[in-house]
Amino acid sequence: MAVRVGRRVRVPVTVVEPGRVRRRRDAVVAEEPMEIRVQAGGETRTVAVTMRTPGADFELAAGFLYAEGLLDRRGDVRAITYCLDRDVDPEQRYNIVNVALDLSALPDLSPLERHFYTTSACGVCGKASLEALEMRNCPLLPPGPTVSPQVIRALPGRMQAAQELFGETGGLHAAALFDTRGQLLCLREDVGRHNAVDKLVGWALLNGRLPLHGHILLVSGRSSFEILQKAVVAGIPIVCAISAPSHLAVEVARRFRGTLIGFLRDERFNVYAGDQRLSMPPGDGRSS
């Protein structure tokens, strides 16, 4: 029988080793659906259901809506609450988040239709495209900052040291925000990379820190279109990933003048776009 403890679930496992089999309980990360609703002008509308790790739910909702262009600033949010309506199953009340907007009526929600269900594994699928970002008139990322390769190489170790839940379960992604000296400012964990980034952006939005010019985002695993989309909207100029980028991630970084780094591990990394933000010596073969 599984036992839920916060963001962890204790489950029985059978451990098979050379010469013996034993049974014990193990901690796995919790994964549950979260419904995001927006409210304005007396109306309530569901805009997304995503599989996520419970925790930082209000940040996740705010970051998601900001990345999709429904929020422009902290003042657009009147309140964020869980749904405690009597007609809602008590076990699901903390899986429904209401975001009350400071508007007289609901805005156009048609761009969010593709998000009615998203998985923790792949993020938003379907109609997401590079043209959608351009149609929203997302500004190009400003020049700078410049960071040293030494700072970049130190980021994975600092992120891993702060991943408390990953250390216990081994089944979680992380998104970490650093300054240009490599100081960790905020870290969020989730079963989905895109959820972890939304939580991070939501934290910045609710604390009045956007846009995040002059910052570095590091994500575990690979970098995808969705990750770069959220970074561009939040104004993050440097995105690093432990694994590979997708071709659309590279295209977004180049189109919006961002810096994209992949395979950041074992003291090396690849720069797929924007190597002008790295303080490397002349004659190093950097691209134009």
Among candidate residues 136, 121, 114, 44, the one with its CA nearest the CA of residue 85: 44
Give the chain as a DSSP string: --EEETTEEEEEEEEEETTEEEEEEEEEE--EEEEEEEEETTEEEEEEEEEE-SSSHHHHHHHHHHHTTS--SGGGEEEEEE---TTS-GGGGGGEEEEEESSSS----GGGGGGSSBBTTTBS-SS--HHHHHHTTPPPPPS---B-HHHHHHHHHHHHHH-HHHHHHS--EEEEEE-TT--EEEEEEESSHHHHHHHHHHHHHHTT--S-TT-EEEESS-B-HHHHHHHHHHT--EEEESSPBPHHHHHHHHHTT-EEEEEEETTEEEEEE-GGGB-PPTTS----
DSSP-assigned beta bridge partners for residue 68? none
DSSP-assigned beta bridge partners for residue 134? none
Question: In Å, how far are 40, 62, 96, 158 from 78, measured between CA atoms?
Answer: 10, 11, 17, 35
Q: Which of 83, 122, 138, 186 is catalytic?
A: 122
- For this structure, is 122 an active site residue? yes
Among candidate residues 41, 36, 12, the one with its CA nearest the CA of residue 24: 12
Active site residues: 122
